[in-house]
């Protein structure tokens, strides 16, 4: 057997395997033997017919396909070992160059390649923002708005009032109002928004402003044409004539800013204590946002100076994972991707560009972080993994009925949670190390790090997660066992699929 390898773009290894005539004939005989067990040959029991006679009863095309598969089943593992190939996923047969003797071309996706630049020379000024008194006042005012009382008033409608109306919408055709009712609401509350508020309005943007100056008992007639990309699928492209009757006008009575108000909101003894709590919350939010931007600046510089290559299959797997996460998140708000894009005014093409860019950024960042984790010898803390896994399991069991979940399933879930906890820990700890480097701080190794499992190998698990398989579970066995999570799962190495 002769093997020739050539690396192509996007981490694809082209492998040409030339079998000897003897290897081809051996594979053909084995293939015939396999097929002969399913073919009836007169005068012989299944699988007992001599090879020359059996050939006359086999479909030549089927025999050739089986011959190729038998050969690859034996040759593929040998090629990986002989050529020291470390594949990302299973190879694919792309060309049959010759049938006798066999000559096959296989394309094998390789694991990502990351050649880091001088990441230790990266410096980014660290200047977290301060929270001003004005920001605290604005947050406090929002809390007052949420706790405002509504009091009926006998006057014209003003901004920030809440107006209760009966609303009926009639479909219009050719400029005429029909009898077809497309909208009907009773006692519908409408908050009168100021022009500078970028909030969604019902039944259409700007409707609340039409009510200003009206009083209880007044009528309002207004027309509106819904565009083709309107959020309401039933109204898109339709012109509607609205009739509204104002039933009641209420104004907001904001609570006074005093200790009593603070105490009504929770465990606060005074208004000053509430302000401190608000400031602390704003500082946490501000710092979290700043750190995200700070981390992005660091990673951009490192990625720019690094060589990163990965197979397209990895990018596609990451893309599917990204879309799955997005759909899960949107479902919590009763939205799908189409509605999400309409709200943002984004076309399908723009959305695809967004996703592709987000996937590329996330993938490059993860690969760089894993490579740096190995260079920096980042250690895994089993206690943190155990604590995080137990907390995630507890949260999961609180949301589901444990009696309905088999123990083996719980064990599998726990194992997966431990895997994710390990990956997250490595990424976070590596990012923290990069912050220290970017700020020019002296890095002091933890004493416990000498006894902790290394993060080396977690990258393999991340790539296995992207593939959706369990090929690299053994890399994490030491750590997962330390958190009392085990799973016996047989790993099978399949041969290459023959695609002609």
Residue for token pair 């002091």 = 444
* Residue 48: partners with Cβ closer than 8 Å, 6 or more residues away: none
What count of residues does the chain have?
A: 500
From CA 14, how far away is CA 105, in angstroms rounded?
A: 7
Task: Check residues 355 and 471 and name the one with the higher pLDDT.
Answer: 355
Q: What is the mean pLDDT of the chain?
A: 85
The number of angstroms, rounded, from the C-alpha of 29 to the middle of its chain's C-alpha atoms is 49
Q: Produce one character per residue of 89-124: b if its CB has 16 or more CB atoms within 10 Å, e if not.
A: bbbbbeebeeeebbbbbbbbbbbbebebeebeebeb
What's the distance, Cα to Cα, between the start and end of the chain in Å? 21
486 has a pLDDT exceeding 50: no
User: Is the torsion defined by CA of 426, 313, 93, 97 positive or negative?
Assistant: negative
- Do residues 102 and 68 lie in contact, with contact meaning Cβ atoms separated by under 8 Å? yes
Q: What is the pLDDT of residue 139?
A: 95
CA distances to 115, 374, 453 from 456, rounded to whole Å, are: 16, 5, 9
Percentage of the residues of the chain whose pLDDT score is greater than 90: 65
pLDDT for the residue numbered 473:
41
Once rounded to an integer, what is the mean pLDDT over residues 469-496? 37
- Between CA 433 and CA 443 the distance in angstroms is 8
Mean pLDDT of 112-121: 95
Average of pLDDT values for 37-49? 79
pLDDT above 70 covers what percent of the chain?
85
* Distance between CA atoms of residues 436 and 135, nearest Å: 29
Q: Where in the chain is the domain with CATH 3.10.50.40?
A: 149-253
Average pLDDT for residues 166-182, to the nearest whole number? 96
For 2-110, give the CATH class: alpha beta
- Alpha-carbon gap, residue 91 to 315, rounded angstroms: 16
Fold classification of 149-253 (topology level): Chitinase A; domain 3 (3.10.50)
> Which residues, listed in sequence order, are joined to residue 108 by a DSSP beta bridge?
13
The residues of the chain that CATH labels 3.30.70.1050 are 2-110
DSSP H or E run through 4: strand 2-7
Q: Does 492 score more than 60 pLDDT?
A: no
Q: Give the separation between CA 323 and CA 355, rounded to whole angstroms.
A: 8
CA atoms of 419 and 480, how far apart (whole Å): 7
Torsion of CA 104, 105, 109, 111, to 10 degrees: 80
């Amino acid at each position: 057997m002769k093997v020739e390898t050539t690396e192509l773009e996007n981490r694809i290894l082209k492998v040409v395997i030339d079998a000897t005539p003897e290897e081809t004939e051996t594979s053909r005989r084995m293939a015939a033997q396999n097929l002969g067990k399913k073919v009836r040959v007169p005068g012989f029991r299944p699988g007992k017919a001599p090879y020359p006679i059996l050939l006359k009863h086999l479909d030549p095309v089927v025999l050739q396909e089986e011959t190729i598969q038998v050969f690859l089943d034996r040759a593929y593992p040998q090629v990986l070992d002989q050529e020291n190939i470390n594949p990302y996923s299973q190879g694919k047969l792309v060309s049959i160059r010759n049938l006798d003797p066999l000559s096959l071309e296989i394309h094998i996706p390789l694991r990502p390649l990351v050649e880091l630049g001088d990441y230790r020379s990266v410096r980014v000024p660290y200047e977290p923002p301060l929270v001003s008194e004005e920001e605290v006042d604005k947050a406090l005012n929002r809390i007052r708005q949420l706790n405002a009382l509504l009091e009926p008033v006998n006057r014209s409608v003003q901004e920030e009032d809440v107006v209760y109306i009966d609303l009926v919408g009639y479909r219009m055709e050719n400029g005429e109002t029909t009898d077809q009712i497309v909208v009907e609401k009773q006692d519908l509350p409408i908050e009168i928004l100021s022009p500078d508020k970028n909030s969604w309005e019902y039944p259409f943007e700007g409707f609340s402003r039409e009510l200003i100056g009206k009083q209880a008992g007044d009528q309002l007639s207004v027309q509106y044409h819904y565009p083709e990309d309107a959020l309401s699928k039933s109204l898109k492209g339709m012109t509607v004539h609205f009739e509204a009757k104002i039933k009641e006008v209420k104004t907001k009575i904001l609570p006074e800013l005093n200790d009593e108000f603070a105490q009504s909101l929770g465990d606060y003894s005074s208004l000053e204590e509430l302000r401190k709590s608000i400031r602390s919350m704003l500082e946490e939010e501000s710092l979290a946002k700043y750190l995200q931007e700070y981390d992005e600046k660091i990673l951009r510089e490192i990625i720019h100076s690094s060589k990163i290559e990965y197979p397209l299959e990895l990018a596609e797997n990451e893309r599917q994972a990204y879309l799955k996460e997005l759909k899960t998140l949107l479902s919590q708000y009763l939205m799908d991707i189409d509605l999400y894009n309409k709200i943002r005014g984004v076309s399908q093409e723009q959305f695809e560009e967004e996703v592709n860019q987000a996937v590329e950024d996330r993938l490059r960042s993860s690969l760089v972080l894993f490579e740096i984790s190995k260079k920096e010898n980042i250690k895994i803390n089993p206690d943190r993994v155990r604590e995080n896994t137990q907390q995630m399991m507890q949260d999961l069991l609180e949301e589901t009925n444990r009696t309905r979940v088999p123990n083996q399933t719980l064990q599998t879930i726990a194992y997966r949670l431990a895997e994710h906890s390990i990956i997250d820990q490595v990424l976070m700890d590596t990012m923290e190390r990069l912050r220290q480097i970017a700020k020019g701080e002296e890095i002091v190794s933890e004493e416990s790090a000498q006894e902790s499992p290394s993060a080396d190998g977690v990258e393999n698990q991340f790539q296995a997660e992207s593939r959706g398989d369990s090929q690299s579970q053994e890399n994490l066995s030491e750590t997962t066992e330390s958190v009392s999570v085990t799973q016996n799962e047989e790993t099978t190495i399949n041969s290459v699929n023959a695609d002609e």
